[in-house]
Structure 1
Amino acid sequence: MQNKGLLTTFTVLFALAALYALSLTFVANGVESDAKDYANGDSDVEYAYLDSMSSEEVYPIIGYTYGELRTKTLNLGLDLKGGMNVTLEVQISEVVKALSSFSKDNAFNQAIIDAKTAQKATNADFVTLFGQVYQEKNPNGKLSSIFYTLDNKDKLSPNATNEEVLAFIKEEADDAIERSFNVLRTRISLFGAAQPNIQKLTGSDRILVELPGVKDKVRVRQLLQGTAKLEFWLTYENQEIYPMLAQADELLGAANKAKASVIDTTVTDEVLSEGTAEEVADAIETLVDSTVNSAEEGTASLLDKIEGAEGESSDSNAVATPEQSFEDYAKDHPLFAIMRPAIFQDEQGQYFPGQGPIVGYVAIKDTAKVNSYMAMKEVRALFPPRIKFLWTAKPYDDEGKFLQLLAIKVDNREGKAVLEGDVIIDASQQFDQFSGSPRIDMAMNGEGANKWKHITADNIGKSVVIALDNLVYSFPTVQGEISGGQSNITGNFDIEEAKLIANILKAGKLPAPARIIEENVVGPTLGQESINKGMLSFIVALLVVLAYMVFYYSKAGIASVIALLANMFFIFGVLASMPQLIALTLPGIAGIILTIGMSVDANVLIFERIREEIAAGKGTRLAVADGYKFAYSSIIDANVTTLLTGAVLWFFGTGPVEGFAKTLVIGIGTSLFTAIFITRLIFEFNLNKNKVLSFSTKLTDGAFKNTNINFLTNRKKFYILSGIIIVIGLGSLLTKGLQYGIDFKGGRTYVVRFDNPVSTVDISKSLESLFETSPETKTFGDDNQVKITTTFMIDSEDENADDVVEGKLNEGLASLSSKYEVMSSQKVGPTIADDIKTSSFWSILFSLIIIFIYIVFRFKKWQFGVGAIFALFHDVLITLAIFSIFYGILPFSLEVDQAFIAAILTVVGYSINDTVVVFDRIREYLGSFKKRDNEDVINEALNSTLSRTVNTSLSTIFVLLMIFVFGGEVIRGFSFALLIGVIVGTYSSLFIASPIMYDFTKKIDKK
């Protein structure tokens, strides 16, 4: 064997590198195990323990601290470790609006709306879509008239063409995405998640964020979606605003009366208290002239009514006179029926407005209604022109039901705060020295410190509101001038919340809002179960394959066992050495297991060829040398085609598909090395020691030696059989279709586990009214676990939509008698679903084209390529047909999703692997027996490869059966697709690909 010394040295170095990489993981896992034991189930204590170990040296030999080790260990994906995977879309529409200085041009604003709608059906960037829409609707429109502003005059010419303006917008948009990416990366690094991953998705406005191990999804959403727009506002006093609120309440009440008695007596009195904002606005606009005089009565009459009040509402503490029911009071006072004004009673029983900027207290469920009242132009006319109202970020009461409303003073035409967050240079979570409660300390730059000094000096005794993303976190009363630029935010924070806000402020604000359009959340319980099931399937599959190889190939099988174990060691070593590039996922484990089955193929090819050489009368040493030499071509061809398929999956795939592809590609590389080189070293060692090498047992000696199946004579029977199955499948596809997962149709999915078996019908009924339509509910695995799928609020642009949907989910599930746990959740927006469908189509098509080109190139005859492609289409159609026919019948999920596409492409790779090996032997025989009839030569070639085909297929099928049985419900449909594909692929390589190649060759020969 040439270069034996060099290859041996490489093997030793490779093994040492893998051992080193795995040792880092082993030490880090030891620290984390100690943390779990110390915490005894308390996740906060566990986190604090690990945080304290970050700077402690835990690997003395090398000098690594735990904090350093954490970024260098085997990276477990979300499905194994738990955590979140989100795709954010930067709202470039807001950047475009800002660049136009929020132009009121109708054509411009309509183009923005139309471009946002178009973006839901394509993955094109927003600026391109905006330009196309604007040009179509306004062919003579000049964008320069909109974007040539005071802020842009140095970057744009007043006579710039539309193309030049769009180029300018694109440059600014790309800059906004880049800055958003940097801000998010900084926030994530400060958040403390282990081995986070963040990357821009090329050619789009999207950013992918992976946070393994995180548990608080609400705070992660706040971390990622919050723009971090920090503002300091001056305030009005409640005494100034209360009379105006009273007038607004009287105005609404008078309009309510007039609406019922004057305008239309058929309209109910609940219009103002229950109607939409548009209905209320219409009523107010019509009645304003007749009701203003009534509103001028001021506060006196209202205070008189409140003074004797005894009734109250269930939520907002609104009051009615003894003679009035609450319903009657609500008709007269729509605003104060849902807002308790900040008025108080003194010792003499007299009511007076309270001090400070708080003007009212409102139940959280009523805040939207209050906002709609306060937004009406007739109501706003009662208040100062530049007033604005902000809600507190957190409820002020112990039950968490009520928010406070504050009156904000806007002293400039631009509507800006007196001080903004861009002056903050540092922020940190600290503890208040008096109360001990968590707070957020902030340090300002020189400009900010100077402004803050003047603001506090001019407003002693008054409140200053500190708001983040238009929610008030603090409104302290200024006690004296504050110099030095130091300030803090106090509130009802817990430690983690204070840390989160401090980190957001420290990282800076996003230049444009970012919205989550795809999300995958896996709970730690499910993650641990996935590890257990994945490892069980891995161990069982490995043992089955090893036992089979020893049973069939005797001592040579033992060599393959050693090679396979070395292969596993190298795969995990590579994964551990590149944690930032590759995370081990459950589909990744499936990829490794499949690699076990496929790596056996190289050993089988070599061993079968050695057996042939021994049967031809050669000595063992020469037979081994020639066996390796003659098997190389088939091995290389087979693995290159599978490698090409894996590369396509890696390039086009995301999430589970990408994880599967990466481990598959790595496994192909390491298995080639171990199967070819390590087994050869073992054989050389035994031969040099004059030990006997055996390549079969008594039971397998001579197996498949005298087979003489006439594959080509019976080919039309197999064409008919396959045709019948495909026709039935196409009929099912056209009538029944496929069961698409949310990857392809969009929506939200929740896997929920109950303490006891539950009825899917009962679950659907309990959620139907909350979700507006009945969700799809299916048993998922055991009868106490279900998968709930809904499209409720999937199109909503509200950044709190995810929390709202989960709140309704919990509300509905709480009504059932069984306790439950949400094991995992997934959200896929409509835009993402369209992109996944598009990328899936192109990945399949591209892989087929690449394989066809490679086969034509390698075999120098296009007939081989045609036979292979026909077989691939045959395999894909039959797999799709089976999924269509049996979904809803088999007791496990047969959803078509990203994992299914990965399975289809893997089937393509496996099938072509098998076909290429067969073709390689056909090519060899056709070259050696040129004078014999082609049909006889091809039949003999197919029979000669039968042993290899059966052994490789059986070992792979054994492996996939282990994944199917032991791998868990999450990948059961995936492993079923692979199992069907391997069986069909083995059949097609013998009975479809080769006969079709023969038929096309025969037609050419006749011509």
Structure 2
Amino acid sequence: MDRNWYTRLGVVIAVTLGTLWMLVPTYYSFAVLPRADRNNVAKLQEVLPFWAPPAKYRLSLGLDLQGGIHLVMHVDMKTALTKRAERRASQMVSWVENKKLGTLENPSIDPETNRVTVTVKDPATVEAIQKGLLDTFTDFTLARRDGQNLTFEYDSNALQGSTEEALDMAILRIRQRIDKWGVAEVQIAKLGTDQIQISLPGQSDPEQVKELIGNTGQLEFRIVATDSSIFSTMYSTTPPADTSLIRLVQTGDSPDSPPGPFLESEDRAALLAYLEGKVASPQRALLHCVQDTGPKRRCVKYQSYLLDAQHVPGDLLKGAWFPGAPNAQGQYYVAFEMQPEGAKQMGELTGKNVRRQMGIILDDNVMSAPSIQSEISDSGTITFGRMGPEAKDYGKILATTLQSGALPAPVSIGEIRQVGASLGDELIKKGTLAAAIGLLLVILFMAVYYKVSGLVADVALILNGGLILAGLAAFGATLTLPGIAGFVLTLGIAVDANVLINERIREELALGFSARKAVDLGYDRAFWTIFDAHVTTLIAGFILMFTGTGPVQGFATTLIIGIIASLFTSIVVTRLITTYLVHGRNASTVSV
């Protein structure tokens, strides 16, 4: 035996040991941990031996194999564009002020057309401000100029880019939230221009998923208006229906209540419908949930707040965290910290409004409205009351939502369904049975038809299967039902390569060559045929990988890993063993 044979032997032994080592987390995940903890990486890491790979390298099962939650979400693109127009209007005002070109007043947004209208205070500066804004804010064009009023609208190209950006940002934010939540093997994909498809393997609580993903996470801080007489005016001029349960309250019964008068009702939808269109921009009317004193702190009524235009956006947040314990008043809270620019704006906002209430608003709901005692700059808290055992779960989700960032627009859940674990078990059993039967039939055929050479091919085939599973685990891939199909297919491809080699060796023996010469010629002359076939299939696998989604990608991933493993086992492993049996033992015949 030459030195090259020993080198190849060392490589094969190293690959085999590496394969077994890489499959240790997978074995412990399925054989040691209870089913309920199969997706818990932290618990798996606790039971793994010190020498094993990290728990994240376990082989994970997809939604179709282990069950979980599948949902489709709709992104409100109209609101996304309106929110962006509001930000651009605010930026226009600040830009003109910083450039000392003049002053812009009364910025307003048309919610139907998303047109931005600003009023130039000094008529002499209109021309310069118009030119500067068009040169700087290139995503807008001038729609109309009426004296000192300038109206801008989205550029058509910018409009399309903004919708694509909103969808991409929504996907990014949702993925960040789920990653921070600790859910593994999540699949997120676009559906059309305004929908997102999400699969969460191993999850069983749809309500918790809704709370984490369905919340937009739009945080802002707004000053509460001191004069809310608009509520009493609308109540007297357009009284609500008796069935709406809406009433006018002159004075609140707690320090956090809105300054009177305000509206109150047990029916949130009815109160929102009544307020719609009755408050002129830039003021806003939003609701606050008044909770009961029970352990779950359910909303028993809703109160209306009138909020001024003065605000600080929540996207200037630097971080948020849930301490896990209540404050001195017994209320659970989430602490937050602002970015430098956010701290500057917060300082200006609170410094000018000491002794006034500041509404902390999340997803258009007034979470609380504490009174400003002194200037606040870089940090603060959001209280959400005493919620008993649910407080920690709610606090963690709220902190995760704020930390991961707001979604660019409200999202609604169009479809949510739970794939039962029993269905996953059934698919696993059937898929595993199909793979086992196929593998057993192939092994028997090879052993009977090609004798010792067939047994050699069977050894390589078993190693090939281990390499595929280890490869999936090493690259963090997820095994799905189509992946099992790809697994079975690659086993067939591996057998095909060994059939080519064995038949080629038979042909060389039939031509009168010695056993040694027949083995060498058989492998050498079959190599390029095998190589070309594998490379061609590999190219097809990569095309499926980069162009397909969901099940197609699962199939392609397994196919690619299997093709590479098949090439190694058929060319290197079987030749190593056959060379030993023929060359190493000076055999005069080949059992093929």
TM-score bucket (shorter structure):
0.7 to 0.9
Alignment of 1:574 onto 2:471:
yes
Counterpart CA distance in 2 for 1:684 and 1:335 is: 92
Report the 3-state secondary structure (helix = DSSP H, G, I; strand = E; otherwise coil) of the residue aligned with 1:427: strand
105 and 61 in structure 1: CA distance in 2 versus 1, 3 angstrom threshold? closer
Counterpart CA distance in 1 for 2:406 and 2:468 is: 41
State the one-letter code of the partner of 1:565: I
Structure 2 match to 1:443: 337
Structure 2 match to 1:228: 217
Contact 1:238–1:342 (Cα < 8 Å) also in 2: no
Contact 1:390–1:408 (Cα < 8 Å) also in 2: yes
Structure 2 match to 1:832: none
Structure 2 match to 1:919: none
Deviation at 1:575, TM superposition (A): 1.5
Counterpart CA distance in 2 for 1:109 and 1:385 is: 13
State the one-letter code of the partner of 2:450: Y
Contact 2:217–2:362 (Cα < 8 Å) also in 1: yes
Report the 3-state secondary structure (helix = DSSP H, G, I; strand = E; otherwise coil) of the residue aligned with 2:220: strand
Deviation at 1:25, TM superposition (A): 4.2
What does residue range 250-649 of structure 1 map to in structure 2 within 5 Å?
251=238, 335-341=241-247, 356-357=257-258, 359-363=263-267, 367=269, 369-375=270-276, 380=278, 388-392=284-288, 404-412=301-309, 418-429=311-322, 430-433=324-327, 438-444=332-338, 446-447=343-344, 450=347, 453-454=350-351, 457-459=354-356, 464-472=358-366, 474-475=367-368, 478=371, 480-481=373-374, 483=376, 485-491=379-385, 492=387, 493-512=390-409, 522-579=419-476, 582-649=477-544
State the one-letter code of the partner of 1:622: K
Structure 2 match to 1:190: 180
Deviation at 1:374, TM superposition (A): 3.2
What does residue range 956-975 of structure 1 map to in structure 2 within 5 Å?
none
Structure 2 match to 1:689: 585
Report the 3-state secondary structure (helix = DSSP H, G, I; strand = E; otherwise coil) of the residue aligned with 2:459: helix
Relative contact order higher in (CA < 8 Å, ≥ 6 apart): 2
Counterpart CA distance in 2 for 1:96 and 1:360 is: 31
What does residue range 760-799 of structure 1 map to in structure 2 within 5 Å?
none
> CA offsets per residue over residues 818-857 of structure 1, 9 Å max, x none?
xxxxxxxxxxxxxxxxxxxxxxxxxxxxxxxxxxxxxxxx
> CA offsets per residue over residues 66-86 of structure 1, 9 Å max, x none?
xxx343333433333444566
Deviation at 1:592, TM superposition (A): 0.6
Deviation at 1:242, TM superposition (A): 6.9
Structure 1 match to 2:57: 72
Report the 3-state secondary structure (helix = DSSP H, G, I; strand = E; otherwise coil) of the residue aligned with 2:540: helix
TM-score, normalization: structure 1? 0.45
State the one-letter code of the partner of 1:487: T
Counterpart CA distance in 1 for 2:140 and 2:428 is: 62
State the one-letter code of the partner of 1:420: P
Structure 2 match to 1:908: none
Counterpart CA distance in 2 for 1:451 and 1:531 is: 60
Deviation at 1:499, TM superposition (A): 0.9
652 and 538 in structure 1: CA distance in 2 versus 1, 3 angstrom threshold? same
Counterpart CA distance in 2 for 1:209 and 1:15 is: 37
State the one-letter code of the partner of 1:442: F
State the one-letter code of the partner of 1:503: T
Contact 2:65–2:480 (Cα < 8 Å) also in 1: yes
Contact 1:389–1:406 (Cα < 8 Å) also in 2: no
Contact 1:235–1:407 (Cα < 8 Å) also in 2: no
Counterpart CA distance in 2 for 1:93 and 1:198 is: 22
Counterpart CA distance in 1 for 2:413 and 2:450 is: 54
State the one-letter code of the partner of 2:56: T
Deviation at 1:614, TM superposition (A): 3.5
Counterpart CA distance in 1 for 2:345 and 2:131 is: 27
Counterpart CA distance in 2 for 1:207 and 1:12 is: 46
Contact 1:239–1:353 (Cα < 8 Å) also in 2: no
Q: Percent identity?
A: 28
Counterpart CA distance in 2 for 1:353 and 1:494 is: 26
Report the 3-state secondary structure (helix = DSSP H, G, I; strand = E; otherwise coil) of the residue aligned with 1:405: strand
What does residue range 788-827 of structure 1 map to in structure 2 within 5 Å?
none
Contact 2:355–2:372 (Cα < 8 Å) also in 1: no
State the one-letter code of the partner of 1:187: R
Contact 1:602–1:675 (Cα < 8 Å) also in 2: yes
158 and 615 in structure 1: CA distance in 2 versus 1, 3 angstrom threshold? closer
Contact 2:60–2:478 (Cα < 8 Å) also in 1: yes
Contact 1:335–1:370 (Cα < 8 Å) also in 2: no
Counterpart CA distance in 1 for 2:396 and 2:271 is: 32
Report the 3-state secondary structure (helix = DSSP H, G, I; strand = E; otherwise coil) of the residue aligned with 1:565: helix
Counterpart CA distance in 2 for 1:84 and 1:337 is: 38
363 and 514 in structure 1: CA distance in 2 versus 1, 3 angstrom threshold? closer
618 and 148 in structure 1: CA distance in 2 versus 1, 3 angstrom threshold? farther
Structure 2 match to 1:60: 50
Counterpart CA distance in 2 for 1:674 and 1:477 is: 69
5 and 89 in structure 1: CA distance in 2 versus 1, 3 angstrom threshold? farther
Structure 1 match to 2:94: none
Counterpart CA distance in 1 for 2:81 and 2:413 is: 20
Contact 1:228–1:510 (Cα < 8 Å) also in 2: yes
State the one-letter code of the partner of 2:383: I
Deviation at 1:440, TM superposition (A): 2.0
Contact 1:242–1:353 (Cα < 8 Å) also in 2: no
> CA offsets per residue over residues 146-178 of structure 1, 9 Å max, x none?
x9798664243998999x955666676676666
Deviation at 1:658, TM superposition (A): 0.8
Report the 3-state secondary structure (helix = DSSP H, G, I; strand = E; otherwise coil) of the residue aligned with 1:560: helix
Deviation at 1:604, TM superposition (A): 1.8
TM-score, normalization: structure 2? 0.73
Counterpart CA distance in 2 for 1:497 and 1:443 is: 19
Deviation at 1:564, TM superposition (A): 0.4
Contact 1:22–1:73 (Cα < 8 Å) also in 2: yes
Counterpart CA distance in 2 for 1:57 and 1:433 is: 37
State the one-letter code of the partner of 1:432: P
Counterpart CA distance in 2 for 1:693 and 1:204 is: 66
State the one-letter code of the partner of 1:338: S
Counterpart CA distance in 2 for 1:541 and 1:609 is: 25
Contact 1:387–1:407 (Cα < 8 Å) also in 2: no
Deviation at 1:193, TM superposition (A): 1.8
Counterpart CA distance in 2 for 1:677 and 1:394 is: 72
Contact 1:342–1:361 (Cα < 8 Å) also in 2: no
401 and 180 in structure 1: CA distance in 2 versus 1, 3 angstrom threshold? closer
Contact 1:541–1:593 (Cα < 8 Å) also in 2: yes
Counterpart CA distance in 2 for 1:179 and 1:11 is: 46
Contact 1:234–1:465 (Cα < 8 Å) also in 2: yes
> Pairwise CA RMSD of aligned residues?
4.8
Report the 3-state secondary structure (helix = DSSP H, G, I; strand = E; otherwise coil) of the residue aligned with 1:432: coil
Contact 2:139–2:158 (Cα < 8 Å) also in 1: no
Contact 2:187–2:550 (Cα < 8 Å) also in 1: no
State the one-letter code of the partner of 1:653: G
Alignment of 1:156 onto 2:138:
yes
Counterpart CA distance in 1 for 2:229 and 2:59 is: 62
Contact 1:391–1:404 (Cα < 8 Å) also in 2: no
Counterpart CA distance in 2 for 1:533 and 1:233 is: 58
State the one-letter code of the partner of 1:11: V
Aligned residue pairs: how many?
534
Structure number with larger C-alpha Rg? 1
Deviation at 1:505, TM superposition (A): 0.9
